[in-house]
Amino acid sequence: MKQDLKDGGLARDATAGHRTKTARGSGDRPLRVLMTVDAVGGLWRYAMALGEQLQKSGFELCFAGFGPAPMSEQIIEAERIGRLRWLDAPLDWMVSDVHELNLVPKAIAAACDDFGADIVQVNLPSQAAGLEVDVPVVAVSHSCLPTWFDAMRPGEDSDRLAWHRRLNRTGFDNADAVVAPSGSHAAALFRSYGEIVVLEIVHNGVCSSPGSMAKQNFVFAAGRWWDEAKNARTLDEAARNIWWPVVMAGSTRGPDGSEARIVHAISRGALPYGETMALMAQAAIFASPSLYEPFGLAALEAASSGAALVLADIPTYRELWDGVAVFADPHEPKAFAHAISHLAGDPRRRHDLARRATSRSARFAPQLQASAMAALYRELVNTAKVGRTVR
């Protein structure tokens, strides 16, 4: 594939399909989408934002959940948009043996049949491996262990990584379309798996936050801090030399027992989404020291809320936020401390960057994401062959 992945050369036209007001499935009923989710990380926010916009466009949604059970507020949120069905099967990155995933394709196929889905969107490519359904399958890669290891521990290999590569590659090959949220992540997928012919780029989207809230002099960061790729250590060390308070929201202990220690920053732990967004709306500066980000929803949420961005100098953030953010070496706490402190002491530049970041965030509106995905769904449904078989 010759297109330049970083310049959006593979990006689907987000305006496509606007002329069709209602998505139609079999007969006259709305088109039905079965979408896999988990309740652990940013995938939940992605699925809810996309699902809400698809619902407004006339689609019917069923969320098929994997892994740890959702919280009560998550259940309420999902059932406001569509149906929620939690499946008794694990997430691929939470198991050590590929055989523990044997029930996944059968569980998805059963949910597809029960819902009468017209299309299936799996949000882990491995979930498309061995999936036997008679409707088109879209595999969206938000992240995966092989690209995580390529970014965090290049050259490291293991039996577990080997089967992840095989399973994901099979999932890509079995899907009718593959979607990545950024050109940078698409390039990472190509490096890990080789060419993926049916790959397209559709940027993630989030709802705009109210921008009228008065900003306060503190730095905010949000993430799954137990994931070493979120790089809690750099920001926590940087907080020692930042004269504004640094507030870090998000779980510090992961489902696999991994843990991050936050000593110098103010750790708020895992918060309900509404509380996290309220803090983000108040913060004058948002910081993300991530070493690996296929997209970075938190940075987008912060930009839409009017915060100035201080981001790790990694390909994804450069692709999406170059020209409207301050970048710092994520391996150097002093560099992050200097970048944040300099911005804290320069209100004019801080306000200008915040304004420009908010303007840039309009490129990633959830309506645009949903329009692009809806156009892809319709294209696949309209050209689907009867009696689809596993490749």
In a shared domain, residues 280 and 189 = no
Quick check: is 390 in a domain?
no
Quick check: is 391 in a domain?
no
pLDDT value for 208: 62
Average pLDDT over residues 340-348: 97
pLDDT at 373 over 70: yes
pLDDT at 4 over 50: no
pLDDT digits (tens, 9 = 90+) for 88-125: 899 999 998 999 999 999 999 999 999 999 999 999 99
How many domains does the chain divide into? 2
In a shared domain, residues 257 and 299 = yes
pLDDT value for 160: 83
pLDDT at 1 over 60: no
Average pLDDT over residues 259-274: 93
In a shared domain, residues 9 and 41 = yes
Contact 238, 334 (CB under 8 A): yes
In a shared domain, residues 264 and 302 = yes
Mean pLDDT computed over every residue of the chain: 90
Confidence of residue 25 (pLDDT cuts 50, 70, 90): low
Quick check: is 186 in a domain?
yes
pLDDT at 17 over 90: no
The model's pTM is 0.89
What is the identity of the amino acid at 185?
H
In a shared domain, residues 254 and 378 = no
Nearest Cα to Cα of residue 200 among 264, 277, 141: 141
In a shared domain, residues 186 and 225 = no
In a shared domain, residues 142 and 270 = no
In a shared domain, residues 74 and 62 = yes
Quick check: is 234 in a domain?
yes
Tell me the CATH number at 15: 3.40.50.2000
In a shared domain, residues 108 and 184 = yes
pLDDT value for 210: 55
pLDDT digits (tens, 9 = 90+) for 56-100: 999 999 999 999 999 999 999 999 999 999 998 999 999 989 999
In a shared domain, residues 38 and 182 = yes
Domain that holds residue 78: 5-205+366-383
d(CA 92, CA 275): 30
Quick check: is 389 in a domain?
no
Average pLDDT over residues 328-353: 97
Least confident residue range of 108-122, 150-164, 273-287, 360-374: 150-164
Q: Rounded to 5 degrees, what angle do the CA atoms 131, 135, 141 make?
A: 55
Quick check: is 157 in a domain?
yes
Confidence of residue 20 (pLDDT cuts 50, 70, 90): very low
